[in-house]
Amino acid sequence: MRYWISLFFVVSMLLTAAGLASAATVTPQLILDGVVLTPKEPPALIDSRVMLPIRTVTENLGFTVKFENATKTVTVTNGNSVIAMTVGSKKATINGIESELEAAPIIKQTTPATATTMVPLIFVKDNFGADIVWDNKTKSAFIYTSKADSGGTSGGSNEGGAGGSGGNSSGGGMIGVVDEDPPATDGSTGAGTGTTGGSAGTTDGGTGTTVTDPYASLAYVHGIRFENETVILSYEGTVQPVVTSLTGPDRIVVDVPKSDFASDFGQNLVVNGTTAKSGVYPVAGHPVLTQVRYSLFQSNPNALRFVLDLSGAYGYEVQNDASAGELKIKLSADAVPPVTEEPQNKVYTVVLDAGHGGSDSGAIGVSGKYEKNFNLAVILKVQALLATDPRIKIVMTRSADTFPSLRDRYNLANSVKADLFLSVHANSNTKNTVSGTEVYYTRADSLAFANVVKQYATPATGLTDRGVIQKSLAVTRETKMPAVLFEAGYLSNSTEEKKLFTEDFQNRTAAGLAAAVKAYLNLA
């Protein structure tokens, strides 16, 4: 017997008049598992309801459709069920049992040849075994079926959380099984299913996972200088800087992942221990640049941040001369910054993902509590906190005890063209003394978001900070927007398990995560 999982319901199906007015400039599309369908009539917004062409949708889902012209009745069958609807009536029958639609089916035709019966999206979603997402911006309906539940790409990833133990692959794969890492170059295996961290060639927390020392490939910044309208950072190693411009106040932020200050960096560097390093390089005589602040703003692995403080908006260009070992930020009133300020009326789409769910419990705590329940409790609280801000549109991968596959999760985020993706998990380890929070990211463009999550959410938990960690996880790798997976604590630690399942802890964690989202989007 085939089981269907109802995953997503985007409340933006109820559209404002403004949204309706803008629809005329967009060509609606119907997309099934990534394939664009060509119905006679596309999805449409009719009386503030999303209506779908029932024949095109259901035939592509494997059903048989018959239309009785005399009675205007549509009958959809697949051998196991019979669903009948009548144009103009909210009454339908499902295997002989009467049901009610939220809106009556209609016949829509742009020309006489395109006459098509249109049915409310939510009725199709609830009764035909498909998960449907409406993207109001593109006016498109994205349909997902169980055919897409076969796991991730790039090696068939089945992983979701950073830790976790093995499991079967039913229903699209147990979330929590980690991909085997690429072969390491230092002689370590770089594979396993436990937590990352530790030093090169060591086993972390008794999990049997061999990890590579994140400090082994650090770049080192030797100095900073300002000449010819250019801030120049001299370095050795390989750097991949992430440069952004911000307002309120105006500044240019240069993040250098996997880097540290060299021992000969001497420009007013204040050092307090191994992780507290900061300083200021004053600039005189420039029309807008007043100073450059710098600090070691992340550890494990280390990353440096340089902030060019400006008295007003100013253009710049970035040049990374690897042969000379110089990163240059050239200031110019005529240059156009690579990153422009978002319009003030922009609405950001944020996908919130509660890890695991349904048949996949995730980690099981020492007292038998399920990780999936913790994840959902926290993500619902984050949703409630962010939903009050009209500048944020929330999309949930699940809002109940269901089991979306990993592919469902990142396909949803990519389909709605989300601005951010945030996944919440709890961790586990074979060693019951391991404790603390971890922030995971995969792609370089997610590092800044990961650091903001660490800044706001980690202290909110009150637990040990185990740092920001780069790892190849499906939901942070296959998404196309900044994506972070937050491990809130260890269910294998009896003390932490008790804390994780308290309202106080969940409220504080949710508040920290919501604050991180707003801070990253500059909405705080």
Please check whether residues 23 and 84 belong to one and the same domain.
Answer: yes
Please check whether residues 128 and 65 belong to one and the same domain.
Answer: yes
pLDDT tens track for 62-107: 899 999 999 999 999 987 789 999 999 999 998 888 888 888 999 9
Give the CATH number for residue 431: 3.40.630.40
Q: Is residue 287 in a domain?
A: yes
pLDDT at 250 over 70: yes
Please check whether residues 368 and 448 belong to one and the same domain.
Answer: yes
Please check whether residues 299 and 440 belong to one and the same domain.
Answer: no
Please check whether residues 356 and 325 belong to one and the same domain.
Answer: no
Contacts (Cβ under 8 Å, ≥6 apart) of 443 = 476, 477, 483
Domain end, chosen from 306, 332, 358, is at: 332
Contacts (Cβ under 8 Å, ≥6 apart) of 489 = 426, 427, 435, 436, 437, 461, 463, 496, 497, 499, 500
Q: Is residue 343 in a domain?
A: no
Domain end, chosen from 286, 304, 332, is at: 332
Q: What separation in angstroms does the CA of 33 have from each of 130, 163, 405?
A: 10, 29, 13
Closest among 172, 171, 144, 146 to 158, alpha carbons compared: 172
Please check whether residues 386 and 300 belong to one and the same domain.
Answer: no
Q: Is residue 167 in a domain?
A: no
pLDDT tens track for 172-226: 222 222 222 233 333 333 333 333 333 323 323 322 222 233 334 688 898 999 9
Q: How many structural domains are present in the chain?
A: 3
Query: Strand 348-354 vs strand 106-108: parallel, antiparallel, or unpaired?
Result: unpaired
Please check whether residues 400 and 457 belong to one and the same domain.
Answer: yes
Please check whether residues 69 and 111 belong to one and the same domain.
Answer: yes
Q: What separation in angstroms does the CA of 119 have from each of 45, 56, 105, 128, 376?
A: 11, 11, 5, 12, 32
Domain end, chosen from 85, 117, 145, is at: 145
Give the CATH number for residue 105: 3.30.457.10
More confident residue, 142 or 187: 142
Give the CATH number for residue 324: 2.60.40
pLDDT at 32 over 70: yes
Please check whether residues 356 and 481 belong to one and the same domain.
Answer: yes
Please check whether residues 516 and 396 belong to one and the same domain.
Answer: yes
Please check whether residues 230 and 115 belong to one and the same domain.
Answer: no
Contacts (Cβ under 8 Å, ≥6 apart) of 284 = none
More confident residue, 398 or 297: 398
Q: Is residue 150 in a domain?
A: no
Please check whether residues 30 and 131 belong to one and the same domain.
Answer: yes
Gap between the Cα atoms of 93 and 81, Å rounded: 10
Across residues 329-345, what is the average pLDDT? 64
Q: Is residue 510 in a domain?
A: yes
- Cβ of 77: how many Cβ atoms within 10 Å? 14
Q: How confident is the model at residue 180, as a pLDDT?
A: 24
Measured in whole angstroms, the distance separating CA 414 from the mean position of its chain's CA atoms is 9
Q: Is residue 20 in a domain?
A: yes
Q: Are 10 and 416 in contact (CB under 8 A)?
A: yes
Q: Is residue 74 in a domain?
A: yes
Q: What angle do CA 449, 454, 456 make, to 5 degrees?
A: 95
Q: Is residue 166 in a domain?
A: no
Provide, for the chain, the percentages of residues in helix, strand and coil under a 3-state DSSP scheme, each rounded to the nearest 5: 20, 35, 45
Show the domain range for 53. 11-145
